[in-house]
Amino acid sequence: MQLPDFVRTTTFRWTGSAFAVCIVLFCALVYWEAAGYMLAKTDAALNEESLAIAADPPARQLNAIDDRLSQDPRHIKLAGLFGADGHRIAGNLESMPHDLKIDAPVQNAAAIRIDQKGPEEMTVRAIARSLPNGNVLVIARNIDELKGLAEVVARALMLGLPFAGGSGLLIGMVLSVRAQKRVAELNTLVRHIVAGDLRQRLPTQGLDHPFDELAEIANGMLDEIEALVQEMAGVGNEIAHDLRTPLTRVRLGLERGRANAKNLEELQTVTDRAIGGIDQTLTIITTLLRIAEIEYGGRLAGLDNVALADLVREVGDLYEPIAEDKHITLHVASGDDATVRGDRDLLLEAVANLVDNALKFTPAGGCVELALVHGNNESIVRVSDSGPGIQDNERKAVTRRFYRSDKSRNTFGFGLGLSLVAAIVKLHGFRLTIATGPGCVAEIACALPSVLMSSC
Partner 1 sequence: MTKVLLIEDDDETAAEIAAELVHRGFDVERAATGPEGLDKARSCRPDAMIVDRLLPEVDGITIVDALRQEQVRTPVLILSAIGAVDDRVRGLRMGGDDYLTKPFAIDELLARIDVLLRRPIETRETILRVGSLELHLIKRTAKRGQRAIDLLPREFRLLEYMMQHNDQLLTRAMLLEEVWSYKFVPATNLVDVHMGRLRHKVDMPNEAPMINSVRGAGFILRAAS
Residue 144 · residue 126 · CB < 8 Å = no
Distance CA 96, CA 314 (A): 123
How far is 384 from 330, CA to CA, in rounded Å?
A: 10
Of these, 360, 400, 407, 426, which contacts partner 1 (CB under 8 A)? Answer: 360
- The verdict on 299 binding partner 1 (CB under 8 A) reads yes
Site string for partner 1, 233-272 (x = CB under 8 A): ---------------------------------------x
Rg (CA), the chain: 50
From 93, 382, 196, 423, select the one nearest 291 (Cα to Cα). 423
CB of 449 to partner 1, least distance (A): 20
The candidate with the shortest Cα–Cα distance to 450, out of 367, 379, 348, 345, is 379
Q: Which is nearer to partner 1, 143 or 323 (CB)?
A: 323
| Residue whose CB is less far from partner 1, 236 or 276 | 276
Which member of 332, 346, 381, 434 binds partner 1 (CB under 8 A)?
Answer: 346
Question: Which C-beta is closer to partner 1: that of 97 or that of 277?
Answer: 277
Query: Toward partner 1, which CB reaches closer, 78 or 291?
Result: 291
Smallest separation, CB 321 to partner 1 (Å) = 5
Kindly identify the residues of this chain, within the stretch 277-296, that bind partner 1 according to CB under 8 A.
Answer: 279, 282-283, 286, 289-290, 293-294
Query: Least distance to partner 1 from the beta carbon of 425, Å?
Result: 14
Contacts of 420 (CB under 8 A, 6+ apart): 287, 290, 291, 294, 349, 350, 353
Binding partner 1 (rule: CB under 8 A), the pick from 33, 216, 325, 337 is 325
Shortest CB 5 distance to partner 1, Å: 51
Q: Is 228 exposed, middle or buried (0-12, 13-18, 19+ CB in 10 A)?
A: exposed
The dihedral built from the CA positions of residue 297, 302, 305 and 311, taken in this order, carries a sign that is negative
Query: What's the min distance (Å) between Cβ of 413 and partner 1?
Result: 5
Residue 128 or 420: which CB sits closer to partner 1?
420
Min separation Cβ 431 and partner 1, Å: 21
Beta carbon nearer to partner 1, 215 or 348: 348
**Candidate ranges 11-19, 59-67, 273-281, 438-446; the one touching partner 1 (CB under 8 A):** 273-281
Within 117-136, the residues that bind partner 1 by CB under 8 A are none
Least CB distance to partner 1 at residue 314 (A): 7
Q: Judged by CB under 8 A, does residue 151 bind partner 1?
A: no
Task: Tell me: does residue 358 bind partner 1 (CB under 8 A).
Answer: no
> Could you tell me whether strands 77-82 and 367-374 are parallel, antiparallel, or unpaired per DSSP bridges?
unpaired
The yes or no reply on residue 353 touching partner 1 (CB under 8 A) is yes
Look at residues 400, 444, 438, 441 and name the one whose alpha carbon lies nearest to residue 424: 444
Among 359, 372, 390, 421, binds partner 1 (CB under 8 A): 359
Please identify which residue in 414, 430, 441, 444 interacts with partner 1, judged by CB under 8 A: 414
Q: For residue 321, state whether it binds partner 1 (rule: CB under 8 A).
A: yes
Least distance between partner 1 and beta carbon 356 (Å): 5
In terms of CB distance, is 166 or 413 closer to partner 1?
A: 413
Residues 6+ apart with CB under 8 A from 222: 193, 198, 200, 201, 202
Of the residues 297, 363, 365, 438, which one makes contact with partner 1 according to CB under 8 A: 297
Nearest distance from residue 444's CB to partner 1, in Å? 17
| Interaction of residue 409 with partner 1, rule CB under 8 A | no
Does residue 76 bind partner 1 (CB under 8 A)?
no
φ, ψ of residue 146 in degrees (nearest 5): -65, -35
Task: Select the span of 1-9, 71-79, 246-254, 344-352 touching partner 1 (CB under 8 A).
Answer: 344-352
Q: Which of 58, 166, 413, 429 binds partner 1 (CB under 8 A)?
A: 413
Residues that bind partner 1 (CB under 8 A): 272, 275-276, 279, 282-283, 286, 289-290, 293-294, 297, 299-302, 314, 317-319, 321-322, 325, 343, 345-346, 348-349, 352-353, 356, 359-360, 412-414, 417
